[in-house]
Structure 1
Amino acid sequence: MMLIHSKYILVDSAQIMYGRLHMSSLSYPDLAEAVLKTGPFPKLTKRAHIFRYLVDATICINLFGSCCVYSVIIARTIKQILENAYLVGEESIRIYIACMIIPLVLIAMILSLKYLAPFSIVGNILLLIVAFSTIYYGSKAATKSPAEFPLIKDAEGFFGFLGVCVFSMEGMGVVLPIENHMREPKKFPRVLCMGMSVVIGIVAAIGFFGYWGYGEDSVTPITMNFPWAIFPIILRSSLALVVYVTFALNFWAPFNLVWYYIKVRHNPDKFWCVERIYRALIVIGLILLAIAFPNINAFMGFLGSFCISLMGFLFPSFIELAVKWNDPGLGACKWRLYKFGAVFGFGVFLCILGTYSNVKSLVTSKE
């Protein structure tokens, strides 16, 4: 609920700024910079560009980190299919991740979203199939009652769970672009509630039935736990293919942010070649990072705890406070300050403890 609220206040703050600046749309970094430039804190006005850079950096870490997760998911799926079919011997997951370098570099060379966007619809349909399949196979594999599982195993596991949950449901980077392209932006709260209800339902179903059926032995992605049969094999293969395309979709946005800052250092006549070199180098860097840290549960937990605590809680709560500081005034609405403290405090709590817990798991993992 707090994440839904954060998305709402981010869009609400943006819509207020549209009127103040006489603009029809703002990106997340644009909004962050504009709020400080026109806000009630004179000492921060000259530092507005730093806030923008901070938002840009967080978005890049989150989306590039997601690309690392996707590369491991693809490698894990291919490894399981090949080894279970006895086509190859058992090898380290790092070898399979390394083998993904050339395919991922090639798909990262696609510059236009129009070639990739249709696959997002296929991905959404496949996600629903995975959710229903998890309910079926998870309940079929269950050997004990859900009440027999501990509610919280330990603090480290709890923060890992929080980070993965937030990572699975965030979407903060696409909130403003969606609102900007709506015919009736005022209806965004209704769209937000409907969309998040579906997302929460899918995540809850996969998480509950996956853990109920496979317990501590459950691995990510959930399809790897399904039995070795025709339909699950097709499902695994389809998921790997969709995630492969999703890698390119996720890579597109953060690379464009990075390219905006680095292209000014190069001759425009050489952009075609230079851009592709940077694309290849960044993909190789992401693969090397995935090889070094292939524990995707801890990786997702880190991204959720660190990036989403900033993008989803700390930044939106501060932006709303700055936008509404004098509207109608804190004296008449002290509850707004209390709300800011609650959301901001939760973000700090998740950022510090969640990041520590998941980084520890990443470093100590033997996977």
Structure 2
Amino acid sequence: MQRVTGEAWTWSDHPRHQSSPYPSYMSTGQYVHGQDHLQPRMEGAAKMTPLTPPSPFLSSQARRDTTPDEWETFREYRAILNPHLTHESRRMSHSKQNMEVMTPLIENPGGVGQEEDNSEEDQDPELLPVRHYELGNSHQGITFTQALIHLLKGNIGTGLLGLPLAVRNAGVIVGPLCLVLMGVVCVHCMHILVNCSHHLCERLKRPPLGYSDTVAFSMEHSSYQCFRKSARFGRHLVNFFLVLTQLGFCSAYFVFLAENIKQVVEGYQGVNITLAAESLSFANTSMVPAPVPLPTMVPSEPWALDLRLYMLFFLPFLILLVFMKDLKNMAVLSLLANVCMAVSVIIIFQYITTDFGDLHRLPLTSPLGKFPFFFGTAIFAFEGIGVVLPLENQMKEPKRFPTALNIGMGITIVLYVVLATLGYLHFGDDIKGSITLNLPHNAWTNQMVKILYSFGVFVSFAIQFFVPAEIMIPPVQARLRKSWRAPCEMILRGLLVCLTFSFAVLIPRLDLVISLVGAVSSSALALVFPPLVELITFSDRPLKPAMLVKDLVIAVVGFIGFLAGTYVTLAEIVSPEEPPEVIREAAQNLTVAAATAVAGALGMSEELGGNWTTPTAAVTLG
């Protein structure tokens, strides 16, 4: 065998390096694996002159020619390279990296009712969470600009394309104004959640808390015994709505992909049929064709497939996509998806600004019975509260996070209002559940918009799916034998994707799926829980009347929106032709009750002399 001299050998020097069973990180003798990254090996080990390791794939004669000293040297060298890392520890390492990527919505260890069995010696101090009161001297974390970009990525998604329909359900004047108001209130609720998390971390000397942790600890340390007994229930309730929201997003993605690709495929068929008909009309004619009327476009209805078949087409690909558990491997796909979605939005803006039509044809306000649809769609778009706490926890300068939050959400609100208003002005009452569905088929740029945005949504499916998978699968795996855990995880992931597919098949309308998910789960996470958490967290001190009224108004409006939006959307699903008049009257009564509650609370806050006199000032708090 050939002895390799020098500082290091590589597997490329070996004639059988491509079939070597050893891990890829053993590709050089200058490094060893430790603590999730490659580190230079010991100085003493660097002085060794390693041998090319005998491959088990060599012939028996070559293996017999290997001397015992060469075998012993190779064993020592392999021990230096990889003293302890096993397949299971590598799997846990990748799982931990995934959790660092998606910490936004998943609770941290050490929650209520959990005992810390591990000693301090078993924990790596570099892997412990960074505490709020230790962040001042830390040089690790994300910058102000990175936090701003993550905020924009976490809030701008498929909900953006459904906002023009939301404006139609509220009116060309009332819709944009209510969008601004709802955005300001959602930003204020984000500030509330961050302030409560800060207060609990400093009070309890806890590491940074997630959404469910903040709710659980605020209830556990409340001055009221009824809340202390229900702390575990509060954690499970928040996790339930998190799972419901994320799976609802995935169902909306199913419908979005199916509707857009259906338009691309069948629109392309229609164009081809038209061109074929035109070419046949000029066949066997002279150079100057006679004025024979051209045949009209052959309808493509016989070629049309049901929307559910397109969903079924995407099902196996999405199942394979969620089997990719290491989100680090999806970094390139995620970057491409963001670029594709940004390009699509730019093209959409370019198209809708060309013509606004007759503005007088659009109603300034819509009937109150349609307002719950507006509420569900708008709150679906603004439900980005889950990404707030992890971004604040990971910043180098957490004190600057309120500024980043105001700037990022300000840009989001402006983008939402402009696209929603211009889209409704351009397409009028013909606007559909996604503005991409209104783009005509006669331009390749419009078709490219649907394909690019569909690719971005396809990649986002796996990211949105990660949260419910990490909440629901580990408790099931803990009850199984170790050998059954990996197959069980694959089966459960596939079943969860099939669950979202089934929901999309039952409600194959994108506008109704978005409205239902927004009304049921997003309203609770974005509007109901944060003000109640603030009241519970600071229940040990005298509450200002203005803060009490403000929090109660936000929670009540969110709860009424939850009831009205869910009721009206389900009624539309059951009777899509025309909802009964009793349903519209009920929706109007609920909407009037919400408006009356808001007006009364604002008047009460002015009488109390509070510092929260208008909803617009809410964004400056926190």
> TM-score normalized by structure 1?
0.93
Contact 2:347 2:449 in 1 (8 A): no
Shift of 1:113: 1.6
Pick from 334, 337, 354: which aligns with 1:140?
A: 354
Shift of 1:206: 2.2
Count how many residue pairs are aligned between Structure 1 and Structure 2.
Answer: 362
Residue type of the partner of 2:406?
C
| CA–CA distance in structure 2, aligned partners of residues 195 and 234 of structure 1 | 28
| CA–CA distance in structure 2, aligned partners of residues 31 and 92 of structure 1 | 45
Q: Deviations over 1:142-200 (max 9, x none)?
A: 3212x541133223322111211111121122221222212222222111111111221
Structure 1 residue 365 corresponds to structure 2 residue 576: yes
Structure possessing the higher radius of gyration over alpha carbons: 2
| CA–CA distance in structure 2, aligned partners of residues 67 and 13 of structure 1 | 30
Q: Deviations over 1:208-258 (max 9, x none)?
A: 121111122222332222232122222211111110011111001111111
Alignment of 1:5-16 (within 5 A): 5-16=188-199
Shift of 1:345: 1.4
| CA–CA distance in structure 2, aligned partners of residues 141 and 2 of structure 1 | 33
Structure 1 residue 337 corresponds to structure 2 residue 551: no
Distance change >3 Å, CA 120–CA 164, structure 1 → 2: farther
Distance change >3 Å, CA 364–CA 112, structure 1 → 2: farther
Residue type of the partner of 1:23?
R
Unaligned stretches of 5+ in structure 1? none
Q: Deviations over 1:49-88 (max 9, x none)?
A: 1111100000111110000000111111110111011188
Contact 1:73 1:220 in 2 (8 A): no
Residue type of the partner of 1:245?
V
Residue type of the partner of 2:535?
L
Structure 1 residue 42 corresponds to structure 2 residue 256: no
| 1:303 corresponds to | 517
Q: Which has the higher contact order (CA 8 A, sep 6+)?
A: 1
Note the aligned Cα RMSD (angstroms).
Answer: 1.8
Contact 2:255 2:504 in 1 (8 A): yes
Distance change >3 Å, CA 127–CA 100, structure 1 → 2: closer
Pick from 348, 352, 357: which aligns with 2:559?
A: 348
Distance change >3 Å, CA 363–CA 166, structure 1 → 2: same
| 2:309 corresponds to | 95
| 2:435 corresponds to | 222
Structure 1 residue 269 corresponds to structure 2 residue 483: yes
Residue 540 of structure 2 aligns to a residue in which SS? helix
| CA–CA distance in structure 2, aligned partners of residues 185 and 365 of structure 1 | 48
Pick from 15, 23, 47: which aligns with 2:206?
A: 23
Residue type of the partner of 2:353?
S
Shift of 1:17: 0.6
Distance change >3 Å, CA 75–CA 302, structure 1 → 2: same
| CA–CA distance in structure 1, aligned partners of residues 343 and 365 of structure 2 | 29
Contact 1:128 1:202 in 2 (8 A): no
Residue type of the partner of 2:465?
F
Pick from 463, 467, 472: which aligns with 1:253?
A: 467
Structure having the larger proportion of residues in helix: 1
Distance change >3 Å, CA 307–CA 217, structure 1 → 2: same
Structure 1 residue 77 corresponds to structure 2 residue 260: yes
| CA–CA distance in structure 2, aligned partners of residues 152 and 302 of structure 1 | 22
| CA–CA distance in structure 2, aligned partners of residues 38 and 260 of structure 1 | 27
| CA–CA distance in structure 2, aligned partners of residues 274 and 334 of structure 1 | 52
Distance change >3 Å, CA 121–CA 206, structure 1 → 2: farther
Shift of 1:361: 2.1
Contact 1:293 1:363 in 2 (8 A): no
Shift of 1:122: 4.0
Residue 150 of structure 1 aligns to a residue in which SS? coil
Distance change >3 Å, CA 140–CA 178, structure 1 → 2: same
Contact 1:117 1:249 in 2 (8 A): no
Distance change >3 Å, CA 267–CA 35, structure 1 → 2: same
Pick from 166, 171, 186: which aligns with 2:384?
A: 171
| 2:402 corresponds to | 189
| CA–CA distance in structure 2, aligned partners of residues 314 and 262 of structure 1 | 30
Distance change >3 Å, CA 254–CA 278, structure 1 → 2: same
Residue 378 of structure 2 aligns to a residue in which SS? helix
Residue 316 of structure 2 aligns to a residue in which SS? helix
| CA–CA distance in structure 2, aligned partners of residues 204 and 273 of structure 1 | 46
Structure 1 residue 323 corresponds to structure 2 residue 506: no
Percent identity between matched residues is: 26
